[in-house]
Each structure stands twice: as structure tokens, then as C-alpha cells.
Amino acid sequence: MNKIYTFLIAALTLSVTAHAQSPAQNLMPDGSHDMYLGIGVMSRPVYEGAEHKKANVIPVMQMQWSNGVFLAGMSAGWHLSNQFNHEFGPLISLEPNRTSSGLSNSIQTPANLQSSVVGPGLSDRSHSKASNKLLGLEDIRTRILYGGFYNYQLAENLRQTNTLLFGAGNNRQGLRLSSDLRYHVKDMFPHHQLTFGVGLTLVNQAYAQTYFGVSDIEAGRSVNEQFTTKAGVKDIHADIYWNWNLNSSWLITSKMNLSQLINSAGRSPLVERKTNFTVSSAIAYRF
């Protein structure tokens, strides 16, 4: 199975397809491309809702071609619009698995794109076996999610972004919709780009049950009580993206994310901390 996913990641890289805040295809000259590669560190909860954190070394990757095809971390897609104020197209993404040790790893993208992590942990203050709420739960397998994105430019510095992905969970029925409002601070600081975002994430019942529910069988072999979740808003969140252009080729890209689990996700017995904080910073080279 690991060989299959390794092949899929390589195929995504070769086919060059990606996601989210990339510029519309009509902004790039025909035959041109834009690529970032780098490395950094990230600190995040062991899993969504966990009290303990872990730090990881993270590769950074983003690629975009003038035909609208792009690759960003573990997501890939295709801009079908040739208008600046409307961006839309298909999207696929590799969702990491979750075991009793928490979420596995993936790859980060430069700021203004969705972030994740990969690489050996620098530190791992995971739960002891006596308190690990994931022990006894069914492992969640790695999945390829399918969907699309739609971004709308409300004003010169204000954009609304939407991403819909389907196929999460062992039953492949999980659906997740992320909607964000992002404000880009323009020309305030030389060589620096700042973007502030706020948004929410909606999920269907299958997704919520996969990541926050506890079946009667799992309750019998874990420290958790049985818990059934509902569809609805999973979290509200705020983001800060910061790019520091050191020169024409090198940049430091950073992101901070603060999210609050709400509704049935926030009431799950798996959740030790409703408020989650993730921060990452990396240096990348632009080709």
C-alpha cells in the first residue's frame, strides 16, 4: 500500500496539478512556470483536538504552469478560468492516515496555500498509553480526496476561497467544505507579504464520525465512551500568512493557524483541547 501512495505522489508531481491561492492562469506567459522548493519546521497538535504537540521537519513544494495546472504540497488541481476575479477548477488531495500515534505526515506549501507536514519528528510528546484516547480506535487510512475549488476576488485585496473535497475516511464517504475570507496587506512593508484569513469548515456526518466519533465496539476497547457525531460546522479558524522575499530567488514563508472545534466535533470525547494552534516556517528557493 505504501508503494501505491508513493507512486501516486510521484505521478502528481510529474503531471503537475494543485490547489488554492495560486494566481489565475492568464497571469502567466505561455510556456512559463513558477516553482518553489525548500525546507523548514512545523509545530502542530498530534491530532486535531489533541492537547500535546509535535514538531516536524517539513519539505516545502509548490509548482505552477501557465496552462493553469499546479501542484501544492499534497494537493493538485487545474485552474480552468482565465479571469482574474474568478478562479475555479478540479482538485485532488492526499489525506494522511491517523493511527494511535496521531496523524501521519504530508508536505507543506508556501504561505497563502494550505499547509501540512512531512519528515522525522524533532520532538514527540505524545500521550502515554494510559491516557492515549486514540488507542483502541480503528486506524483511519490514507485517502485520495476528489473535489474542486472556487475563489472569488471581492475587492483588490480581499478574496473569498472555497474548497470542497470528498472521499475521506475508511468508508470514503467523508465530505469537507472549507470557506475562507482572506485580506492581503499590500505594499505596507518592502519585500514582505502579509495575508490575514478567517473561515470555517463544514463536514458531513460521515466525516465527523470518522474523525470525532466513537463506535460501540471502539468504546469497549478504549478509554472513550460511545459518541455519535452530526453534520455541520466542524471548526472556525483564523490564519496569518507571511512571505519574506530575501531576494529574487529566496524567501522565508510562514503560517500561523488558530482553530476552534465547535458543535459535535468540539464535544467529542477524543477532544482534549478545543482550541488548536499550528505554526510553521520554512526557507524556499524559487526557480
Q: Using 50, 70 and 90 to split pLDDT, how confident is the model at 77?
A: very high
Domain count, the chain: 1
pTM over 0.85? The answer is: no
Quote the pLDDT of residue 231. 98
C-alpha 94/C-alpha 105 separation (Å) is: 10
115 pLDDT more than 90: no
Q: What is the pLDDT of residue 119?
A: 35
Q: Which residue range forms the structural domain that includes residue 227?
A: 2-286
Cβ atoms of 47 and 124 closer than 8 Å: no
**Terminal-to-terminal C-alpha distance of the chain:** 33
**Lowest mean pLDDT across 48-62, 117-131, 193-207, 264-278:** 117-131
Q: Work out the average pLDDT over 260-286.
A: 97
C-alpha cell at 267: 464535544
User: Residue 98 above 80 pLDDT?
Assistant: yes
State the sign of the Cα–Cα–Cα–Cα dihedral 218, 201, 280, 274. Answer: negative
Residue 163 C-alpha cell reads as 474548497
pLDDT tens digit sequence for 149-206: 999 999 999 999 999 999 999 999 999 999 999 999 987 788 999 999 999 999 999 9
Helices (H), 137-258: 205-212, 216-221
Phi (first) and psi of residue 215, to 5 degrees: -75, 170
Average pLDDT over all residues of the chain: 84
Residues 205-254: tens digit of each pLDDT:
999 999 999 999 999 999 999 999 999 999 999 999 999 999 999 999 99
204 closest CA partner among 180, 178, 230, 169? 230
CB neighbour list of residue 245: distance below 8 Å, 6 or more residues apart: 191, 192, 193, 251
Cα 145 to Cα 29: distance, rounded to the nearest angstrom: 31
CA dihedral over 209, 211, 213, 216, signed as positive or negative: positive
Give me the CATH number covering residue 104.
Answer: 2.40.160.40
Q: In the structure grid, which three cell numbers stand for residue 139, read together?
A: 486506524
Give the Å distances, CA to CA, from 89 to 16, 200, 272: 14, 21, 37
User: 3-class SS at 117?
Assistant: coil
pLDDT score, position 226 = 97
Q: How confident is the model at residue 128 (pLDDT cuts 50, 70, 90)?
A: low
Three-state DSSP state, 249: coil
Q: Which helix (H) or strand (E) holds 2?
A: helix 2-15
